[in-house]
Amino acid sequence: MTEPAASASGAVQPVVAAERVAHQVRRRDPVPVSAFVCIAVVGSIALSVMNGSYLGLQVTTGVGYAVVTVGMVLQLGYSRQLAFSQSVFMGVGAYGTAILETKYNFNSAESLLAVIALATVVSLLVGSVVTRAPGLALALATLLLPLFIYELATFSTYLGSFAGISGVLPFWNGATYEQELVRSGIVSVVLLGLATGLILRVMRSGIGLQLMAMAEDERLGESLGVSLRQRRLEVFVLGSVLAAVGGAILASAQGLVTPDVLSESAEITLLIMVFVPGRKSVTATIIGAIVIEYLTTSTSFISTNLSTIEGVVLILVLIVEPDGVAGAVARLLGRRTDRWAAGLRAAAAKARARGGGSRAGDAV
Amino acid sequence: MAAAAAAAEGPDPGSVALEVASVSVNYGQFVAVESATFSVGAGECVAVIGPNGHGKSSMVTAVAGLVRRGGTVRVFGTALPVGDPRAAVRAGLVLVPERRHLYPQLTTRDNIMLGSYSHTRRVWARQAWAEVAGVLDMFPELAPLLDQKAGTLSGGQQQMVALARGMAARPKILMLDEPCLGLAEVVTHRVYDWLGAMTATDMTIVLVEENPVHALRVCHRAVRMYRGLVEQPAGEAGPDGPGPDGPGPDGPGAVSA
Amino acid sequence: MSEFLNLLAAGLTSGAIYGILGACLAVWFRVCNVLNLAVGDFAMLGAIGTAVLVQNDDIPFVAAIVVDLVAVGVVAWLFDRLVLHFAFDRRAGGHGIVSVFFYTFGLSLVIEGAARALFGTDVHSAPAIWSGPALTIADFHVQRAGILVIALAAVSGLALWAYLHFTVSGRAASACGESVLGSRIVGIDSALFRRRIFIMTAVLAALFGVVESPLTGFTYQSGPTISLIGVVAAGFAAFRRPGRAVVVGLVLGVAEAMLGGYVSTEYNDVLLYAILFVILIVQPEILGLSAVLA
């Protein structure tokens, strides 16, 4: 056993994390699968209990956002890829689903698969050019996208102008609206589980290590033999496809698509959902996305003062703890476990001193 | 040059230029410099040697006021406030930092000119440059590079710009942190030749150098840093010693090469 | 011909908006490598604040402008003291991408929320500084406020360019953004430059808002949109050249107007941004961005 106290200091942490990741690659990693099972089971039970209530709809919408934010954890938090195109790809998912279902009579499963394929192709195309640009140029390019795509959607009659497109099918039909909502919600939760498992798998693999090295220093990563462009592109595509899936979930939960999903404020909401809970923690952003969606749609005080609250919380989080609420919790827990460990060691030392080492096993 | 003007008098053995008393630097939990105490006489050239990662750079950046420190630093008897690099520069204590820290997008001319920032009263960059253009006499190889961006220069040229910028600040005490790190042999020689010439003036020099053989080519004596502590030469070591070693410059017990 | 001239005038007017905000963004980015996403909100505060002071409180117009600009300066100073100071001075070097965008993004959200609470959701516009009907020469019309906006853009762009290029202080400001440590060792106070220029650009943006508001009107939500366009203008000026940002802004405005006049009034923005996007992707080198990122 190494000393747990050592992992508390900030400088040592990446190294320790890297070692831990490298260690896990060698064996079969149970975490992604168990995360999938956990999310699917807990989410399904929770949605069944809510039984198609308004709360159920809010949670399902939150799950849609959560799928997007899970991708953003990899993109923004983990790889520090400054792309602000998630709302655009949510739009690809949502509008794609709506158009395929209302105009071409696809069913919901077909349209979901088609949308994933579409998002992959589009993000490959966009990504292969966008990711050539490093850092700020990438940010600028992806900031331009929402600017004109939003206007395109509001003017285009094919995309339903301001009213958007209604009549999007639920993922899973049911006899009543409530049943439909519960069933679609369960499908959404399963999709969230899959997304989480996938992202965790990537983050905990050798590729995850490469991404971490790139995020620290691109040149360092390159000198270590990381193929920068390919990794950047992969991250971009993965983030974009998940955003599209999230968009499809939103569309099917609400039964309609409006240009709002493409607007700057949608992107702002997403960024808040990632940065406030903790941009490096998948768990935190899932919980955060659902909670923030719930808060913004159910409390009138929050929804009227939304931007003030978001701004203050964002600034406070960044100053106090750049890794968000998750970082703060981890730090508090770490401090506490350190204290426990120190207490145990002290007790063990005392026991050893008293019993001549024979009772040192107590401490374990 | 202010430094060269009084060169004829030679170093005044009685006065202490830089006095560092129990300076400590912590980065969070990590103690980089535990307690550094030494002093440098006016006109002296002192090397700070010691292995990598034993607090040499942290010590000089702390002395220059760039990182928070404990302890006191006196320049010609005046104590410098903590965490205020401007006060250090105005007092004549100038640092040429490790890895140079030039302004890559600005021209060589501007890089050198900004060395005089703390004492120039000029508004226009052109006039401020005219005041310091004299430093080019020391670095004639920079004359053709004046309008080139500093980031496009070679490592050796950049080091020369860093030295010229340091000289433009009119130092009474010049601290150089690893001036030859990662440079070609030719450039190293050039830097040391220049340093050798500087030791003949009344400018006080503190040279941080990992390689004692290099350092002692030009320096009168050396202090050694090990694990964040300055190790005094055998003769004057000991906690019972009178803190700052007053008559420092003539200490013959310095590390000899 | 007259249609062309009118489009040109309209384009230059809206281009001046982008240009000024781009210049404000660029000069502050140059000092501390942070994008001020709240710059549009400062313009909004300038416009709405002055309008409300004049209409509701019967304060003389000039006094209202002064009060308002001072108030904006105080807001900027407070933000620097309460947020940027802790984020940058107390910590070694901020933390990468987060600092580039998100502190000022938070500020933008706060200002927007506060403006909604204070001023409501109506469209406001400050009284015209130079009132009167549009100036007309034959078929060529140009708004008086438009002339002021263009002049303000040209003057501030030129002034910022000259400051950065010809003065010791301007060179020192650039040095802060190049190397914080390198600037501190020669005695440049990078925190002071950051604060001064932040306040200065906030006040400039607010003044611009006052001048511009008779043309378009402002709501509490106007800020982010014009900030974003400012970011684009600054980005096409390598994020750090205020003079060039004004030029880029004017070109963008004219291009937008021409596309609107000759191609499609609905899709002109879409087309413009699509063209910019393509330029950015195909030829990132022409922007000189590689220099910023190196």
Mean pLDDT across C148-158: 92
- Across the interface, do A139 and C284 touch by the CB < 8 Å criterion? no
A325 in a structural domain: no
Q: Which chains touch A (3 or more CB pairs under 8 A)?
A: B, C
CA A107/CA A15 separation, integer angstroms: 48
Summarised one tens digit per residue, pLDDT across range C161-176 is: 999 999 999 999 999 9
- Better-scored residue on pLDDT, A260 or B75: B75
Write down the pLDDT at residue B137: 93
Band (B5; pLDDT cuts 50, 70, 90): very low
A310 in a structural domain: no
Contact A250, A261 (CB under 8 A): yes
Q: Which of C196, C160, C193 is nearest to B86 (CA)?
A: C193
Interchain contact B31–A (C-beta under 8 A): no
* Weakest mean pLDDT among A7-11, A36-40, C178-182: A7-11
A320: which chain C residues are within 8 Å (Cβ-Cβ)? Answer: none
Write down the pLDDT at residue B3: 42
B237 pLDDT exceeds 80?
Answer: no
Residue showing tokens 């947020």: C83
B245 pLDDT exceeds 60?
Answer: no
- Across the interface, do C178 and B106 touch by the CB < 8 Å criterion? yes
Summarised one tens digit per residue, pLDDT across range B83-124 is: 889 999 999 999 999 888 999 989 999 999 999 999 888 999
C276: which chain A residues are within 8 Å (Cβ-Cβ)? Answer: 144
C291: which chain B residues are within 8 Å (Cβ-Cβ)? Answer: 105
Domain that holds residue A164: 16-305
Q: How far is CA C97 from CA A80, A141, A275, C31, C190, in A?
A: 7, 16, 12, 16, 20
B257 pLDDT exceeds 50?
Answer: no
CA A160/CA A97 separation, integer angstroms: 14
Band (C286; pLDDT cuts 50, 70, 90): low
Write down the pLDDT at residue C97: 64
- Residues of chain B with pLDDT > 90, as a percent, come to 52
A5 in a structural domain: no
B242 pLDDT exceeds 60?
Answer: no
Write down the pLDDT at residue B226: 85
Write down the pLDDT at residue B211: 83
- Better-scored residue on pLDDT, B28 or B60: B60
Write down the pLDDT at residue B246: 39
| Close Cβ partners of B95 (under 8 Å, ≥ 6 residues apart) | B60, B61, B63, B64, B66, B88, B166, B175, B176, B177, C185
CA B67/CA C238 separation, integer angstroms: 32
A87: which chain C residues are within 8 Å (Cβ-Cβ)? Answer: none
Instruction: Quickly count: other Cβ atoms within 10 Å of residue B87's Cβ.
Output: 19
Query: What ipTM does the predicted assembly reach?
Result: 0.86
Summarised one tens digit per residue, pLDDT across range A71-125 is: 999 988 888 888 888 999 999 999 999 999 988 988 888 999 999 999 999 999 8
Mean pLDDT across C116-122: 88
Report the mean per-residue pLDDT for chain B.
83
Q: Which of A200, A191, A193, A175 is nearest to A74 (CA)?
A: A200
Summarised one tens digit per residue, pLDDT across range B174-218 is: 999 999 888 888 999 999 999 999 998 989 999 998 888 888 888
Summarised one tens digit per residue, pLDDT across range A230-274 is: 888 999 999 999 999 999 999 998 888 988 888 878 888 898 899
Contact A261, A68 (CB under 8 A): no
Write down the pLDDT at residue B236: 42
Tell me which residues of chain B, numbers 58 to 97, contact chain C at a CB-CB cutoff of 8 Å.
64, 66, 85-86, 89-90, 94-95, 97
The DSSP-derived string for C70-97 is HHHHHHHHHHIIIIIIIIIITTTT--HH
Write down the pLDDT at residue A168: 84
Report the mean per-residue pLDDT for chain A.
82
Give the distance from CA C67 to its chain's centroid: 20
Summarised one tens digit per residue, pLDDT across range C196-236 is: 999 999 999 999 999 988 888 898 888 888 888 888 888 88
Nearest CA in chain B to C184: B85
Q: Which of B184, B128, B119, B195 is nearest to B157 (CA)?
A: B184
C146 pLDDT exceeds 50?
Answer: yes
- Across the interface, do A10 and B30 touch by the CB < 8 Å criterion? no
Nearest CA in chain A to C96: A80
CA A82/CA A47 separation, integer angstroms: 34
Best interface-test mutation with C: which of B27, B103, B174 has the largest number of C CBs within 10 A?
B103
Give the pair of three-digit tokens for residue A6: 């050592």
Interchain contact C290–B (C-beta under 8 A): no
A331 pLDDT exceeds 50?
Answer: yes
Mean pLDDT across B14-27: 88
A148 in a structural domain: yes
- Is the torsion defined by CA of C187, C192, C198, C204 positive or negative? negative
CA B172/CA B11 separation, integer angstroms: 12
* Weakest mean pLDDT among A287-291, B244-248, C70-74, C249-253: B244-248
Best interface-test mutation with B: which of C186, C239, C293 has the largest number of B CBs within 10 A?
C186
Which domains occur in chain B, in start order? 16-81+206-249 (3.40.50.300)
Write down the pLDDT at residue B253: 38
A361 in a structural domain: no
Nearest CA in chain C to B67: C92
Nearest CA in chain A to B28: A9
Residue showing tokens 């953003």: A72
Write down the pLDDT at residue B110: 95
Strands (E), chain B: 16-27, 30-41, 45-49, 70-75, 78-79, 93-96, 173-177, 204-208, 221-226, 229-231
Summarised one tens digit per residue, pLDDT across range A144-160 is: 888 788 888 888 888 88
C70 pLDDT exceeds 70?
Answer: yes
Mean pLDDT across A306-325: 85
Band (A360; pLDDT cuts 50, 70, 90): very low
C186: which chain B residues are within 8 Å (Cβ-Cβ)? Answer: 89, 114-118, 165, 169
Mean pLDDT across C242-266: 89
| Close Cβ partners of A339 (under 8 Å, ≥ 6 residues apart) | none
Interchain contact B124–A (C-beta under 8 A): no
Structural domain count of chain A: 1
A287 in a structural domain: yes
Q: Which of A266, A215, A187, A181 is nearest to A73 (CA)?
A: A215
Strands B173-177 and B204-208 turn out to be parallel
Please state which CATH number belongs to domain C2-293: 1.10.3470
Residue showing tokens 């060792």: C185
Residue showing tokens 């970082």: A327
Interchain contact B30–A (C-beta under 8 A): yes
Identify the top-confidence range among A241-245, A252-256, A318-322, B221-225. Answer: A241-245
- Is the torsion defined by CA of C114, C116, C119, C125 positive or negative? positive
C63 pLDDT exceeds 70?
Answer: yes
The secondary structure of A296-358, three-state, reads HHHCHHHHHCHHHHHHHHHHHHHHHCCCHHHHHHHHHHHHHHHHHHHHHHHHHHHHHHHHCCC
Give the pair of three-digit tokens for residue C99: 């600092």
Q: Which of A19, A248, A349, B86 is nearest to A341 (CA)?
A: A349
- DSSP lists the bridge partners of residue B226 as B229
A134: which chain C residues are within 8 Å (Cβ-Cβ)? Answer: 293
A324 to chain C, minimum CA–CA distance in Å? 12
Summarised one tens digit per residue, pLDDT across range C6-38 is: 899 889 998 998 899 999 999 999 998 888 999
CA A99/CA A114 separation, integer angstroms: 11
User: What ranges do the domains of chain C cover?
Assistant: 2-293
C247 pLDDT exceeds 60?
Answer: yes
